[in-house]
């Protein structure tokens, strides 16, 4: 008998040859096996598709995108999704092995919830974990905070009922970036969203990711707009985008964020957190790793000195 598909994993892909095999393998290594991987090849001109095709597994499906951006690619994948639940995995990120099992079990036992999220961690281009973000250590209903415009975790750490995503008509293509924030906020208007304190997603930081190829002002604009749209919907029942008069995005300006700077920033934060937890040796190790990445950055040396002298 054919396998029942419980989860559809949506994966937009563009020029991901450096990471795509490791990403797919992390999904195939799941302890839960009733899923499909829908990969939308959105205009890759490298070996990405050939690497995907090197896997012999009928759970992997490849669809050709139209090069219209990440939201359009996700929506194309959603249109082909057969699972009861949907989640996202970018083509350079990873899942921990028990992720799907934990979240499916949780939603099956909390039928009044439409989605569940978890923690996420950052990693560098060599898949070395930089830091697990402090998004909460207790199980919680995060619906109220989402309705206030607060997002504590990454959309990649969510498992969502497929019927709800389709009722929302997927992602809104107006959002060149921050489509994930817009989706989190819209979900909270549809039903209850839970949170469980286990790591569900490894987010890779590198210079070719969409976050590091866009101007700073574009990211700031779209994130602020997603939150402003939420306020409008709660106040009036609709937002400017639904009305057809969404604000025009600004001309791109500002240098893209350098991935090394972001990684070093996370490492400094993680080392200080470890120091605050009385884990001085572990804090110093992280601080020294940050120094190796950016040896002439004064904040790195300040961090090392503070760890050495401060109790």
Query: Domain limits of the chain?
Result: 7-212, 259-309
Sequential pLDDT tens for the chain (311 residues): 456 899 999 999 999 999 999 999 999 999 999 999 999 999 999 999 999 999 999 999 999 999 899 999 999 999 999 999 999 999 999 999 999 999 999 999 999 999 999 999 989 888 988 888 889 999 999 999 999 999 999 999 999 999 999 999 999 999 999 999 999 999 999 999 999 999 999 999 876 655 544 557 888 899 999 999 999 999 999 999 999 999 998 876 555 556 667 666 766 777 767 777 788 877 787 778 777 777 877 677 777 787 777 76
CA distance 26 to 241: 37
- Which of 76, 85, 94 has the alpha carbon at shortest distance from 38? 76
Length of the chain: 311
Q: Helix 216-236 to helix 179-188 angle, to the nearest 10 degrees? A: 20
- Which of 144, 153, 145 has the alpha carbon at shortest distance from 103? 153
The model's pTM is 0.85
Tokens of 86: 């949907």
Secondary structure class of 184 (helix, strand, coil):
helix
Q: Mention the CATH class of domain 7-212.
A: alpha beta
- Which of 188, 187, 180, 3 has the alpha carbon at shortest distance from 89? 180
Q: What is the CA radius of gyration of the chain?
A: 20
């Amino acid at each position: 008998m054919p396998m029942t598909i419980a989860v559809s994993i949506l994966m937009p892909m563009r020029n991901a040859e450096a990471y795509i095999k490791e990403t797919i393998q992390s999904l195939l290594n799941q302890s839960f096996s009733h899923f499909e991987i829908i990969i939308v090849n959105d205009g890759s001109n490298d070996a990405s598709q050939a690497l995907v095709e090197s896997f012999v597994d009928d759970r992997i499906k490849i669809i050709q995108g139209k090069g219209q951006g990440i939201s359009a690619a996700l929506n194309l994948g959603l249109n082909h999704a057969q699972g009861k639940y949907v989640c996202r995995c970018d083509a350079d990120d990873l899942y921990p092995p028990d992720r799907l099992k934990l979240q499916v079990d949780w939603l099956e036992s909390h039928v009044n919830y439409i989605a569940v999220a978890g923690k996420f961690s950052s990693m560098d281009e060599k898949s070395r974990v930089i830091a697990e973000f402090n998004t909460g250590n207790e199980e919680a209903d995060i619906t109220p905070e989402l309705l206030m415009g607060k997002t504590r975790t990454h959309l990649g750490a969510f498992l969502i009922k497929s019927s709800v995503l389709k009722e929302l008509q997927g992602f809104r293509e107006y959002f060149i970036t921050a489509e994930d924030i817009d989706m989190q906020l819209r979900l909270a208007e549809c039903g209850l969203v839970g949170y469980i304190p286990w790591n569900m997603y490894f987010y890779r930081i590198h210079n070719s990711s969409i976050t590091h190829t866009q101007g700073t002002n574009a990211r700031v604009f779209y994130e602020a707009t997603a939150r402003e749209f939420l306020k409008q919907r709660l106040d009036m029942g609709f937002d400017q985008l639904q009305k057809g008069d969404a604000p025009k995005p600004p001309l791109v300006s500002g240098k893209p964020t350098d991935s090394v700077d972001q990684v070093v920033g996370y490492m400094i934060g993680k080392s200080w957190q470890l120091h605050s937890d009385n884990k001085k040796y572990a804090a110093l190790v992280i601080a020294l790793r940050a120094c190796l990445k950016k040896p002439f950055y004064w904040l790195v040396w300040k961090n090392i000195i503070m760890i050495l002298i401060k109790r």
